[in-house]
Structure 1
């Protein structure tokens, strides 16, 4: 009996346990960059989103979900934001959210399904862990940065290509609070 208990303890200590986190949107951001007329880059963000993530103690596995409110697009220019919400681009009335659900995380890359404009495609983010630790309020936080590049035409958004580039960079900065 003692041998079984020791074996169970040894097995448990060799397993990597996952911690669950809720995205702290006050300390997180979803940003995109897209070329304009071949002379500049327009930067925008989404102001409303929610999500959660988990990762194993060894940092080699985990999962993430993110839901973005499409009408929260903000490029610091009201007329452009209104156009981005229109059927020419995000068509927020028909497609109110953008979602990402991971399928694999290996510590350096996060792969999953991105649904944008009603189309779901697999995308891979390069991921860098920023850090983790206790916060001043008794909680525990972890932070990550993730980047990927998509072609918006793959998601059925083709308006004004090449004046507005097809290639779109996406950057996600996430701080999560362990639940």
Structure 2
């Protein structure tokens, strides 16, 4: 079973049961993981399925890496510059059971991105609604979106990797009625 088997119509993301996360290498030897706590998304399953769309918006100031100083730095002009560019957006161009290609915009720079999709399953919930689980992942080069700040480290390499893993764990809700 895949996305194409979901009922047509609008599905929203349940933020209490979903996560927008990322992973970057730190000094080339460890990983820093972070999430964005505030985001919205909408999935429209269409007939035919190939006309389905996904749109999402992430509040960049909601970044959380479990380190206040690092989060403040990520919000600054060195990275997201959230005072000027408060949101990251995604708009799909093509959706299939196994991938989703669209336009990712960060700091007014829009570039194509393809997410690998894994459909987890569906379930009725106790309130009469219907839910579906989807995981998505992609890798980007942050420099492609103007996120270029870095520091060389004495042992070679850099403080923050250019390659960033994006991972989404999403619970979709199809409203009843």
TM-score (norm 1): 0.86
2:156 is aligned with 1:166: no
Match for residue 3 of structure 1?
none
Q: Which runs of 5+ in 2 are unaligned?
A: 1-5, 152-157
- Give the superposition deviation at 1:54: 2.6
- Give the superposition deviation at 1:63: 1.7
Aligned length: 164
**How well do the aligned residues superpose, as a CA RMSD in angstroms?**
1.8
Q: Which runs of 5+ in 1 are unaligned?
A: 1-15
**Among 78, 81, 89, which residue is 1:91 paired with?**
81
Distance in 2, Cα, partners of 1:57 & 1:118: 32
2:31 is aligned with 1:41: yes
Match for residue 11 of structure 1?
none
User: What SS does the aligned partner of 2:100 have?
Assistant: strand
Distance in 2, Cα, partners of 1:61 & 1:147: 21
User: What SS does the aligned partner of 2:105 have?
Assistant: strand
- Give the superposition deviation at 1:60: 6.1
Q: Is the 8 Å Cα contact of residues 142 and 148 (structure 2) preserved in structure 1?
A: yes
**Among 77, 101, 117, which residue is 2:107 paired with?**
117
- Give the superposition deviation at 1:56: 5.1
